[in-house]
Amino acid sequence: MNPKTKQQKRVVELSAKLKPITQKQESWAYENCLDLYAVRHRNTLYCLECGHSWKDKHVLETSIIGCQCPSCGNNLKMFQNYRPNCRDSAYFSIITTKAEFQVVRMFWVQKIMKKGERPVYRNWEVMQHWIDQHGEITSMSMRVQGLSQYFDQWIFASELEIKPKFNEYQRFHIVPYKIYPSKRILPLFKRNGFRGYFYDMTPHQFLSIIVSDSYAETLLKAGQISLFKSYLGNRPKAIRSAWNSVRICMRNKYIVKDAGIWLDHIELLRFFGKDLHSPKYVCPADLGGDHVRLSRKKHEIDRKRRHMEQLAKIEAEQKDFEERIGKFMDLVFQDREIIVEPLKTVDEFFKEAEELRHCVFSNAYYKKQDSLILSAKIDKKPVETIEVSLSRLKVVQSRGRGNILTAYHDRIVQTVNANMPVIAKRIHL
């Protein structure tokens, strides 16, 4: 679209004055963002970096751990499902400044590989994010293919243009695989806590939030990184609600290492009427142990209360829960002996909490509008309970018995992440 506001016109004017990517930056991106590959044809290996080929007898070992090219000496990964003109691609960012703006330039790099030839490299600047001193983001982007199943099917012949309300698009949330190490940062952002890390966030959203939100700025400067990530994630209201307790932690130099458990612990303290301004309670030396103890105590209270509640109320909660979760009811993900499926009734939340001794029932996770709660089971017994943010399509937490991570934790999270597109489709049903 054509720029309409004064700021949009200013961004378009400055964008035209940005210098092209340098040869040094290109070379860094190709070397650090793209993997090195080999491909097998029968008993012959082909290096897709230098074009060399050689015989290989260790078929199984090579397929698992890759190989080393005897000609160029590169350690190579095996390219699966090889086709002529096979490709590898990735995003990387260059962080720079222009006039009064902090600029995040997003590039898409690609490598085209053929047997017996050296790879061909290409790159395009596909997006720019301009952050002003108030944290407002003005974004420019190439056009994309309409009706494509991919949200970033770029039309490389198009020019960068202003995108209105670009934060509504999935492309706005693309996290670059790598960020060019040489960065230019305005003093304002350094003053507000930027120390070179983006904590798995998109750089433009990170830089915007630390100059526009005093809570985020304070948490970052205090080194409360776990709370900072949670605040920018799916629990900003919980952190604002517990802000006085957060200030007690900062005053006593107590670093919250697990924001999820700490925030749940604060809710339990509030339930039991404890002093949320006392370091004794809000800065526990054994957070996990205290949290489990209070969770068990609350479980017993909830157990008694649950049996005393009227059946109509339970049925009403179940009805509301089923209406919200109905589209996810039949989801089942499996990784060998591990089966992951949603908790389907309020009663299942209660039983899951009893079995694993955590707060998925006592803190009413079945009422959370943005959360899909899954249970990972082995031999029909729960192993870990997983919370998925439906707005961010990300695993927020996965906890085993007593909130301890199990030996299956990584596999469980990987299984859920692998099936996140399935969950995404259900959201829009």
- DSSP string spanning 67-114? EE-TTT--EEEEPSS--TTEEEEEEEEEEEEETTEEEEEEEEEEEEE-
CB 340 within 8 A of CB 374: yes
Phi, psi (degrees; rounded to nearest 5) at 171:
-60, -30
CA within 13 Å, CB half, 99? 13
Please give the pLDDT value at position 308: 65
C-alpha span between 95 and 181 (Å, rounded): 9
Rg (CA), the chain: 26
Q: Which residues are bridge partners to 47 per DSSP?
A: 38
Burial (0-12, 13-18, 19+ Cβ within 10 Å), 303: middle
pLDDT tens per residue across span 66-89:
888 999 999 998 887 767 778 899
Residue 379 pLDDT > 60, yes or no?
Answer: yes
pLDDT tens per residue across span 283-331:
999 999 999 999 999 888 887 776 666 446 556 778 888 888 889 999 9
C-alpha span between 279 and 251 (Å, rounded): 9
* Structure letter (DSSP) for residue 50: T
pLDDT tens per residue across span 93-126:
999 999 999 999 999 999 999 888 899 999 999 9
pLDDT > 70 fraction of the chain, expressed in percent and rounded: 97
Question: Per-residue pLDDT averaged across 246-268, rounded?
Answer: 95
Residue 92 pLDDT > 60, yes or no?
Answer: yes
Token pair for 336: 């060998």
Please give the pLDDT value at position 306: 66
Question: Per-residue pLDDT averaged across 391-406, rounded?
Answer: 93
Q: The domain 317-427 is classified under which CATH number: 3.30.360, 3.40.630, 3.40.50, 1.20.1180?
A: 3.40.630
Residue ranges per domain, the chain?
A: 6-179, 187-291, 317-427
CB 51 within 8 A of CB 118: yes
Q: Smallest Cα–Cα separation from 291: which of 387, 372, 413, 399?
A: 399
